[in-house]
Chains A and B, each alone.
Chain A
Amino acid sequence: MNDHAPSPTSRRVVMGFGDAANLPEDDELPTESMPLNMGPSHPAMHGTVRMVLEVEGEKVRTVDVQIGFLHRCFEKEAENATWTQIFPYTDRLNYVSPMLCNVGYALAVEKLLDIDDKIPERAQFIRVIVGEISRITDHLTCLAASAMELAAFTVFFYLMKAREWLWELLEEVSGARLTHSYVRIGGVVADLTDDFCPKLRDILGRCRAAIADVDKMLTSNRIFRDRMDGIGIITRDDAIGWGLTGPVGRSAGLAYDVRKDHPYLVYDRFDFDVPVGSVGDNFDRYAVRLEEMRQSMRILEQAMDRLPAGPILLDDARVALPPKREVYNTIESMIAHFKLIMDGIVVPPGEIYSFTEGGNGELGFYIVSDGTGRPWKCRVRPPCFANTAVLNKILPGLFIADIVPTFGMINMIGGECDR
């Protein structure tokens, strides 16, 4: 820049290349930054988020990421619902991996009730199985959507088809593709279907093929690498200071996975690896997710091999509904059913922070109970709330076009971020 750069208010109009080429050397076209609004109604701002950018040319100077468009008052509703009635709300938190939210919440309440070590083993295995299926669908969705936004349409269709196979299977088990409400305090609501395991093995085989195809299409694809390598770098210190967990945190080099570091359910019995990145850019996040899907499939195969027989719900009428045959034919079970539904499970007063590995990272439930059938406070610690916040740091300095893959790889799920 020369000493007397023209002020923004003084402009010169230049017509055509010829004129521009003839500009005196010490003259510069004045520039000023421009506010640009991206979203909330924007194809790449999936999950509904608004980014108010200040751009200079194509470069982003500052960004203000505005969320809250999908806020549906989860906490307020939870304060007015019984413990079991909250399960459908948890489905709608991270709606691409709803089983993981169901399980996370159930574990928190079970700890407060001091029955977490009494959950039947089969129920624990089933929770792991459906949880890992949900994790795979979460990563499939993330990669599919992000790839599509980079114009890799084929990848989108391959992964969506794979996701659909998994969701169809979960629909057979729970009755819904997405909003399962499958888990209950004390276990799960219904057993797996008879042909679940053979079907799942078949689907996993086809999923592996789809993921292998996607790997071939993207991982060494010049265009994909150009758009993803070195973009949106998050350092390990960033991850610690901003509370980034899950694939975003692990890609930055922070080797923290709740399943390994603080095992819950029966995760400590399975053999699986946790991929950790080194650079912390978009490509690392993509690679970590891809590999995590393969590791989830490993867990699924081991879980299916060792799935024990047994009950799927704790046999305690203070916590779990008695069998319908008893409810309709004896007054005792009728009363138990009645009290559980109308008053809710009586959870002793106390508070707990319980955490599991959600699709995006450490999914925490901070629950405060006042001794009645509904929570005093039921807070979700959403992993992608922290993950999305870091965009305020990493987007400035990137081009507008880089926002798309960066945002995609952060995998902000609106339902979880805004609740």
Chain B
Amino acid sequence: MAGEKQAASGPRAKVKIVIDGRPHEFPAGLTILEACQRVGIKVPFFCWHPGLSAPAVCRQCLVEIRGFPKPIPSCYTPVADKMEVITNSPKVLDVRRQMLEFTLLNHPIDCPICDKAGECLLQKHYFDWDVRLARNDGSKVRKAKVVDLGRHIVLDQERCILCTRCIRVCNEVARQPDLVMAFRGDRQLLTTAPGQRLDNPYSLNTVDVCPVGALTAKDFRFSMRAWELWATPSVCPGCATGCNIEIHAAHDVIRRLIPRPNPAVNKYWMCDEGRLTYKRVHQDRLVAPLVAGAPARWAAALAEVARLMAWARDKSPSSLGVVLSAQTSNEDLFAFSRLASEHLRTDRVYLAGAREGWCDEILVSADKNPNTTGAKLIGGPTVRTAADLKQDLKIGVLKALLVLGEADAVSPLDSLQTLVVLASHQGPLVTAASVALPLAMWAETDGTFTNRQGKVQRLHAAIAPAGQSRPGWEIAARLARAMGAAWTYANAKQVFSEARDKVMLMSGADWGRPESPVQLRFANSRG
């Protein structure tokens, strides 16, 4: 944002201004709009976004400044000493209504079929500021209604209010100028730049920033109405960046993920790949414990695992291995490494995870595991790598293996006599396992991930665990009890608190407040 950059340099000057008759003090360089937001004064806007530059094209944020003949866009004008801003005079309110009237002049009557309905900024501002009946009777300008812009996005040109937020997202965030405005006046259209498609890896952010339903995601459109969604804050599991997200779920099924602002981690954005990680939560899940391939009850399955582990440990502990996964939460990892050291008494603890992938300097990191840092910290310096695991399996040193989470690195399996797998999905490991226990995923449990910056970030459960799956720490606790120990973890917070005491880098971390899902309908229509 232009304002903040100026304030970062130079001395931290303070500016005294008067807004609506009350004096306030702000750092120099702040725009009037941001100043109003800080003190809770509502000023409507369309084209301004805290993460993008401010072109002042929509003119919805006009306010009066004493001494200036015309109203001034507050998103663009920095505060100056002794400025007197008026945001609630009859003239300002009238100007707001006029701007809304202009914006609505050619807007199609699409609300019943528009995906944005319920979270639309145009609806919100009209209802808050304008509520007058329409004055025009003429026909509206017609434009293309379903334009396939690229990999993920569909455009409805009639709904577009020409705010250019999407163009700035492509230019400033994705750094790939895919979109442009064509023509002028009320014929102005959004379209792709000549020869381009909208296929940059951050294209779905344009759907978030679009104030209306012009840009819609192919993945989400027509699938669920916004007001039926329940929002839960969490962290994206796609890579080690750990973008903060909100899980939007309805009827216990996740429908989409959207980014949650965090200036230190992901600002306001997330990548498209990360957005689509929610699909895996509902595909091919392992929903019941399997003993020798047949469904079993939890008590029986745990007893069998306890028996197998105890047998392997007593026979020869150096042939018993535990595989941790960088895809599981800190709580799961802590409980399992405690299990490995205290009860299985093995020092063969491996860390596996998803393979590396592409990366860029914007948000995506090559490490496609959300919790590598956490796993390394919890596992400690003696943890062995996935390559070690492959080697040890090949030479046949391991006879029994307890695998937490998914792992490509667990092969070949020929030399194993016992394989116990905690998995959330069906797969070759589950098929080959002596006992497979269903594991709850990141969206179904409370827990924490530690991202590549070392930040411990909190996950909240958005939906109930699929079938009979349980969180990893809970399975570890029950397993320990089945093996005769007296573990008493009642919830993930207790595991976290213990881990924080024992693992050094987590010492500053905070479990945070409990956050149950909030229904978007009554969240006062965020735009």
Residues of A whose CB lies within 8 Å of any CB of B are 316-318, 322, 326, 328-336, 338-339, 342-344, 371-374
- Which of A329, A330, A331, A336 neighbours the largest number of chain B CB atoms within 10 Å of its CB? A331
Task: Tell me whether A334 and B111 are in contact (CB under 8 A).
Answer: yes
Task: Tell me whether B521 and A343 are in contact (CB under 8 A).
Answer: yes
Given contacts A318-B131, A334-B109, A343-B525, 5 further A-B contacts (CB under 8 A): A330-B134, A331-B109, A335-B127, A342-B227, A371-B524
Task: Tell me whether B117 and A338 are in contact (CB under 8 A).
Answer: yes
Q: Is B468 an interface residue (CB 8 A)?
A: no
3 closest residue pairs by CB, A with B: A330-B134, A339-B127, A317-B131
B338 → chain A closest CB, angstroms: 42
If A332-B126, A342-B117 touch, does A326 touch B108 (CB 8 Å cutoff)?
no
Task: Tell me whether B522 and A336 are in contact (CB under 8 A).
Answer: no
Task: Tell me whether B123 and A335 are in contact (CB under 8 A).
Answer: yes
Task: Tell me whether A372 and B131 are in contact (CB under 8 A).
Answer: no
How many Å lie between the Cα of A182 and that of B60 in the bound state?
39
Contact of B522 among A318, A330, A374 (CB under 8 A): A374
Task: Tell me whether B117 and A336 are in contact (CB under 8 A).
Answer: no
B-side contacts of A316, CB under 8 Å: 131
Q: Is B107 an interface residue (CB 8 A)?
A: yes
Task: Tell me whether B126 and A335 are in contact (CB under 8 A).
Answer: yes
If A331-B104, A331-B108, A332-B130 touch, does A339 touch B524 (CB 8 Å cutoff)?
no
Task: Tell me whether B133 and A322 are in contact (CB under 8 A).
Answer: yes
Q: Is B132 an interface residue (CB 8 A)?
A: yes
How many Å lie between the Cα of A317 and that of B525 in the bound state?
18
Q: Which residue from chain B places its CB closest to the CB of A327 in the assembled complex?
A: B109
How many Å lie between the Cα of A371 and that of B112 in the bound state?
25
B135 → chain A closest CB, angstroms: 9
How many Å lie between the Cα of A110 and that of B122 in the bound state?
27
| 21 pairs of residues in contact across A and B, judged by CB atoms under 8 Å | A317-B132, A317-B133, A318-B131, A330-B109, A331-B104, A332-B126, A333-B134, A334-B112, A335-B123, A336-B131, A338-B111, A338-B112, A342-B227, A342-B521, A343-B118, A343-B227, A343-B521, A343-B522, A343-B524, A371-B524, A372-B522
Task: Tell me whether B134 and A318 are in contact (CB under 8 A).
Answer: no
A-side contacts of B227, CB under 8 Å: 342-343
- Which of B111, B112, B118, B227 neighbours the largest number of chain A CB atoms within 10 Å of its CB? B111
A-side contacts of B522, CB under 8 Å: 343-344, 372-374
A-side contacts of B124, CB under 8 Å: 339
Task: Tell me whether A332 and B104 are in contact (CB under 8 A).
Answer: yes
A-side contacts of B123, CB under 8 Å: 335, 338-339
A212 → chain B closest CB, angstroms: 52
The A-contacting residues of B in range 16-61, CB under 8 angstroms, are none
Residues of B whose CB lies within 8 Å of any CB of A are 104, 107-109, 111-112, 117-118, 122-124, 126-127, 130-134, 227, 521-522, 524-525
Q: Which residue from chain B places its CB closest to the CB of A337 in the assembled complex?
A: B111
B-side contacts of A334, CB under 8 Å: 109, 111-112
Q: Which residue from chain A places its CB closest to the CB of B134 in the assembled complex?
A: A330
B-side contacts of A336, CB under 8 Å: 126-127, 131
A-side contacts of B132, CB under 8 Å: 317, 332
B-side contacts of A317, CB under 8 Å: 131-133
Contact of B133 among A318, A328, A330 (CB under 8 A): A330
- Tally the A-B contacts, defined by beta carbons under 8 Å: 68
B-side contacts of A371, CB under 8 Å: 524
A-side contacts of B131, CB under 8 Å: 316-318, 332, 336
A65 → chain B closest CB, angstroms: 38
A-side contacts of B525, CB under 8 Å: 339, 343
How many Å lie between the Cα of A371 and that of B132 in the bound state?
22
Task: Tell me whether B122 and A335 are in contact (CB under 8 A).
Answer: yes
If A322-B133, A336-B126 touch, does A372 touch B524 (CB 8 Å cutoff)?
yes
Task: Tell me whether B134 and A332 are in contact (CB under 8 A).
Answer: yes
A-side contacts of B108, CB under 8 Å: 331
Contact of B111 among A335, A343, A344, A373 (CB under 8 A): A335
B-side contacts of A326, CB under 8 Å: 133-134
B192 → chain A closest CB, angstroms: 27
How many Å lie between the Cα of A371 and that of B524 in the bound state?
9
A-side contacts of B109, CB under 8 Å: 328-331, 334
B-side contacts of A338, CB under 8 Å: 111-112, 117, 123
B385 → chain A closest CB, angstroms: 51
How many Å lie between the Cα of A339 and that of B130 in the bound state?
13
B-side contacts of A343, CB under 8 Å: 118, 127, 227, 521-522, 524-525
B129 → chain A closest CB, angstroms: 11
Q: Which residue from chain B places its CB closest to the CB of A340 in the assembled complex?
A: B127
If A318-B127, A342-B227 touch, does A331 touch B107 (CB 8 Å cutoff)?
yes
A84 → chain B closest CB, angstroms: 14
Q: Which residue from chain B places its CB closest to the CB of A339 in the assembled complex?
A: B127
If A338-B117, A339-B127, A342-B117 touch, does A332 touch B133 (CB 8 Å cutoff)?
yes
How many Å lie between the Cα of A329 and that of B108 in the bound state?
10
Q: Which residue from chain B places its CB closest to the CB of A316 in the assembled complex?
A: B131
Q: Which residue from chain B places its CB closest to the CB of A318 in the assembled complex?
A: B131
B-side contacts of A322, CB under 8 Å: 133
How many Å lie between the Cα of A332 and that of B126 in the bound state?
7
If A338-B111, A372-B522 touch, does A331 touch B127 (CB 8 Å cutoff)?
no
How many Å lie between the Cα of A336 and that of B134 in the bound state?
11
A-side contacts of B112, CB under 8 Å: 334, 338
How many Å lie between the Cα of A197 and that of B521 in the bound state?
42
B45 → chain A closest CB, angstroms: 17
B-side contacts of A374, CB under 8 Å: 522
How many Å lie between the Cα of A279 and that of B447 in the bound state?
68
Q: Which residue from chain A places its CB closest to the CB of B524 in the assembled complex?
A: A372
A-side contacts of B133, CB under 8 Å: 317, 322, 326, 330, 332-333
Q: Which residue from chain A places its CB closest to the CB of B108 in the assembled complex?
A: A331
B165 → chain A closest CB, angstroms: 20
- Which of A316, A371, A373 neighbours the largest number of chain B CB atoms within 10 Å of its CB? A373
B156 → chain A closest CB, angstroms: 14
How many Å lie between the Cα of A332 and that of B104 in the bound state?
7
A233 → chain B closest CB, angstroms: 50
B-side contacts of A372, CB under 8 Å: 522, 524
Q: Which residue from chain A places its CB closest to the CB of B123 in the assembled complex?
A: A335
B-side contacts of A335, CB under 8 Å: 104, 111, 122-123, 126-127
- Which of A316, A336, A344 neighbours the largest number of chain B CB atoms within 10 Å of its CB? A336
B-side contacts of A373, CB under 8 Å: 521-522
A205 → chain B closest CB, angstroms: 44
Q: Which residue from chain A places its CB closest to the CB of B225 in the assembled complex?
A: A342
Q: Which residue from chain A places its CB closest to the CB of B105 in the assembled complex?
A: A331
- Which of A317, A330, A332 neighbours the largest number of chain B CB atoms within 10 Å of its CB? A332
Q: Which residue from chain B places its CB closest to the CB of A370 in the assembled complex?
A: B522
How many Å lie between the Cα of A344 and that of B109 in the bound state?
20
A316 → chain B closest CB, angstroms: 7
B-side contacts of A344, CB under 8 Å: 522
B-side contacts of A330, CB under 8 Å: 109, 133-134
A139 → chain B closest CB, angstroms: 40
How many Å lie between the Cα of A334 and that of B525 in the bound state?
17
How many Å lie between the Cα of A335 and that of B126 in the bound state?
8
How many Å lie between the Cα of A331 and that of B522 in the bound state?
23
Q: Which residue from chain A places its CB closest to the CB of B106 in the assembled complex?
A: A331
How many Å lie between the Cα of A144 and that of B134 in the bound state?
54
How many Å lie between the Cα of A198 and that of B107 in the bound state?
48
A-side contacts of B104, CB under 8 Å: 331-332, 335
Task: Tell me whether A342 and B118 are in contact (CB under 8 A).
Answer: yes
B12 → chain A closest CB, angstroms: 35
B405 → chain A closest CB, angstroms: 37
Q: Which residue from chain A places its CB closest to the CB of B103 in the assembled complex?
A: A331
How many Å lie between the Cα of A326 and that of B133 in the bound state?
8
Task: Tell me whether B117 and A331 are in contact (CB under 8 A).
Answer: no
- Which of A329, A333, A339 neighbours the largest number of chain B CB atoms within 10 Å of its CB? A339
How many Å lie between the Cα of A339 and that of B109 in the bound state?
14
How many Å lie between the Cα of A371 and that of B523 in the bound state?
11
How many Å lie between the Cα of A84 and that of B107 in the bound state?
28
